[in-house]
Structure 1
Amino acid sequence: MIRKTVLPNGLKILTEKTPYLRGAVAHLRFGVGSGHESHKFEGIAHVLEHMVFKGTEALDQVAFGNEIARLGCSTNASTGFESTTYELDGPAETVLQGLDVFASVIAGFHVPAEEFDKEKDVIQEEWKMIQDDPSAWGEDLAYHALLGEFAHPTIGTPESIDLLTRRHVVEFAQQHYTPDNLIVGVVGNVEHEQVVEVIAKHFGTIARRRAALPDLSLSQIDRLHRAEDCEQEQVFLGFRAPEVTRRDLPAFDVAMTILGGDSWSRLFQRLRNELGLVYQVDGSYSGWPHVGTYMIYAGCQPSETDRVIAEISSEICKLKAEITPDELFRSKAMLKSSLLMSSDQLGNKVHKLIDDELLFATYRPYEQDLAELEAVSVEEALRLAHEVLDLEKMTAVTVGPYQPKFS
């Protein structure tokens, strides 16, 4: 049920037909994100994402929104470090019409000067909103500290946003919003040929080739504290982890689920249930083709910051010393459950469809992912825990009134 077409200009179109589902989802993903920006133009990829929704000369933003709503569809977009994705979802019977409208806007968006200035003001307000949430901008700081300029905050800074002009954004789009830098995925009860027809109508005659992307700049700092007058101390402990294409990534997932994956994980049981030091503590993996991260987060009373960091470090050392067969079994069961549940969700299905094409040049059935998880041994999980969880190479970022005393 999965089909692929590559247009002569390099644009890739992937579809998975799901006749048993009534909804449909389309993603249009460009291979450029904030990690490819120069320091001077931080935030430009995110600004461009906003500007696309201003519509075309023939279909302004109000008419565009109304037309999408008449079809019962909705649109959204997100900017990451390596990509920018435009999303459309709706009923299967109208999603192709919605895709026709959305693709026309993405291919031919038009930004009047006055709309550009207003939207920059909106983005400045978005920046202020993030600053009101120390856990949100603390996370931005943590990834920036762990990965360097590749992971600078996607939104940019007030200063860099102010410096951006309409011409800068249009030139960025001309360089990177090209057919050979675009992959389209659609999952739903739709015909592949009809999806190809719609996309080719708007992008098929564009001959521009993508500009060369700069080298991704990675660096790391060990410690960072930002003083903030808030009730809780936000603690982020980060490690460089396997890139997303590593064949032994399932073993890492198994080990990290044991450490910080759920309410039964070691960190949750020790810091929340046994010691009552935190309300929330967990760990999460993020991966790209050239690097991965594992980030542990905890929020605590400022006076308990040193103890929380010490307890997390202690649990890391214990994990590297032993993983029990029962923990291995539970971790696999949770990860397999997550895979199976995600396989029923249209958004996850189209995300996987595009990811597999970009990372492996082929679709990986869920059964393959499940089999690789099942094959993980205690020894493999321990090996990955030792490789990644090196306390000497840990990045620690704290936001709050207390500055930790690291030994």
Structure 2
Amino acid sequence: MIRKTTLPNGLRIVTEKTPYLRGAVAHLRYGVGSGLEPFRLWGVAHVLEHMVFKGTPVMDQVVFGNEIARLGCSTNASTGFESTTFEIDGPAETILQGLDLFAALLTGFHVPPEEFDKEKDVIQEEWKMYRDDPSAWGEDIAYHSLLGNFAHPTIGTPESIDSLTRRQVLEFSQAHYTPDNLVVGVVGNLEHEDVVEVLLKYFGDNDRKCQPLRLPPLSQIKSRHEEEDSEQEQVFVGYRAPSIQRPDLPAFDAAMTIFGGDSWSRLFQRLRNELGLVYNVDGGYSGWPHVGIYMIYAGCQPSETDRVLAEIANEIEKFKADISGDELLRSKAMLRASLLMSSDQLGNKVQKLIDDEVLWGEWRPYERDIADLEAVTLDEAMRLVHEVFNDKQMTRVTVGPHQPK
């Protein structure tokens, strides 16, 4: 049910036919995001993502939105550090028509001059929205502090957004929105050949090649406090972690699910259930081909910030000393369940199609991922714990009224 076609210009198309589902979803992912932007262009990938929806010379944003709605479809987009993804979902019987409209938009958008400054103002408001959310703002600071300019805020800064020109945005699209830098994934009750036909119509004659961007060197700020007049202190403790293509990543996932993955995890049990210091505390992994991070987050009363940080440090030291076989068994069960349940969801299915294509050049069956997970041993898990929980690669960020000692 999984099929792949690579067009002569390098565009890759991967589909999964699902006759048992009535909905369908398509993702069109370009391999460029904010992490590869030159300093003078911070925010350009995100601005470009917005500007695509302004329409083409023959189909403005109102017409596009109305036509998509008539099909019962919806669209969205997101910019990450290494990719920009355009999404469309709807009924399987109309998704091809929606994909046709979306492909016309992506290959024909023109960034109307009268709309450009207006949309930059909208993005400035978006930046203010993030700035007014201490947890979102703190996460941006924590990522940037841990990884340097690769992880600068995806949205850019007010100054960088204001300085971007329409010409810079169009040049960025010409250089990086190219077929050889695009992977399209579609999941639904559709024929692979029909999907290829739609995309071939719009992208087939485009032979532009993606211009390379330099990956910024990694850097790190060990500790940072952002003064914020708020009721709660936002606490972030981050570590460098295995890259997403590391063969031993399943061992890391299994270990960190024990530490901070759910309500039964060690962090939650200690800081919330035993001590009552926090409402929410967890740990999460993000990874890219060249680096990964593990970020611990907690929100607490400002007066308890130092104690929360001390308890996190204590839990890390205890974790480095021992993991039980029963904990590993529970972790594997939770991760296996997550894989199985995600395989039933259209959005997760199409994301996996594209992730596997980008990372491995082929689709990896869920059974293979589960087998890799089940093969994890206690020794492997402990080795990853000691590799990651290293004070030399730790960053601590707090946002709130209390500066920790």
Distance in 2 (CA, whole Å) between partners of 1:270 and 1:264 is: 10
- Deviation by residue 1:188-219 (Cα, 9 ceiling, x = unmatched): 10000000000011111011111111123211
Deviates more, 1:208-217 or 1:226-235: 208-217
Distance in 2 (CA, whole Å) between partners of 1:328 and 1:109 is: 50
Distance in 2 (CA, whole Å) between partners of 1:395 and 1:215 is: 21
Matched, 1:231 2:227: no
Distance in 2 (CA, whole Å) between partners of 1:393 and 1:374 is: 29
User: Corresponding residue for 2:171?
Assistant: 171
User: Corresponding residue for 1:76?
Assistant: 76
Counterpart AA for 2:89: D
User: Corresponding residue for 2:242?
Assistant: 242
Give the 4+ runs in structure 1 shifted more than 4 A: none
Any gaps of 5 or more consecutive residues in structure 2? none
Any gaps of 5 or more consecutive residues in structure 1? none
* 1:378 positional shift: 1.1
* 1:380 positional shift: 0.9
SS in 1 for 2:56: coil
Distance in 2 (CA, whole Å) between partners of 1:312 and 1:283 is: 11
What is the RMSD of the two structures over their aligned residues, measured on CA atoms? 0.6
- Deviation by residue 1:44-73 (Cα, 9 ceiling, x = unmatched): 000000000001000000000000000000
* 1:321 positional shift: 0.5
Distance in 1 (CA, whole Å) between partners of 2:238 and 2:363 is: 31
User: Corresponding residue for 1:281?
Assistant: 281
User: Corresponding residue for 2:385?
Assistant: 385
Matched, 1:7 2:7: yes
Percent of counterpart pairs with the same letter? 75
Distance in 2 (CA, whole Å) between partners of 1:46 and 1:298 is: 28
* 1:112 positional shift: 1.1
Distance in 2 (CA, whole Å) between partners of 1:199 and 1:217 is: 36
User: Corresponding residue for 2:116?
Assistant: 116
SS in 1 for 2:96: helix
SS in 2 for 1:313: helix
Distance in 1 (CA, whole Å) between partners of 2:16 and 2:351 is: 11
Counterpart AA for 1:317: E
User: Corresponding residue for 2:152?
Assistant: 152
SS in 2 for 1:298: strand
Counterpart AA for 2:170: V
Distance in 2 (CA, whole Å) between partners of 1:180 and 1:403 is: 48
- Deviation by residue 1:22-43 (Cα, 9 ceiling, x = unmatched): 1111000000000111111100
Counterpart AA for 1:319: F
TM-score (norm: length of structure 1): 0.99
User: Corresponding residue for 1:21?
Assistant: 21
SS in 2 for 1:367: helix
Distance in 2 (CA, whole Å) between partners of 1:182 and 1:345 is: 23
Counterpart AA for 1:99: L
Distance in 1 (CA, whole Å) between partners of 2:87 and 2:317 is: 42
Distance in 2 (CA, whole Å) between partners of 1:95 and 1:159 is: 39
TM-score (norm: length of structure 2): 0.99
SS in 2 for 1:239: strand
Counterpart AA for 2:118: K
Distance in 2 (CA, whole Å) between partners of 1:361 and 1:339 is: 20
Counterpart AA for 1:151: A
1:17/1:187 contact within 8 Å kept = yes
Distance in 2 (CA, whole Å) between partners of 1:375 and 1:341 is: 20
- Deviation by residue 1:254-304 (Cα, 9 ceiling, x = unmatched): 110000000000000000000000000000000000000000000001111
Distance in 1 (CA, whole Å) between partners of 2:112 and 2:370 is: 50
1:150/1:216 contact within 8 Å kept = yes
Counterpart AA for 1:10: G
1:19/1:189 contact within 8 Å kept = yes
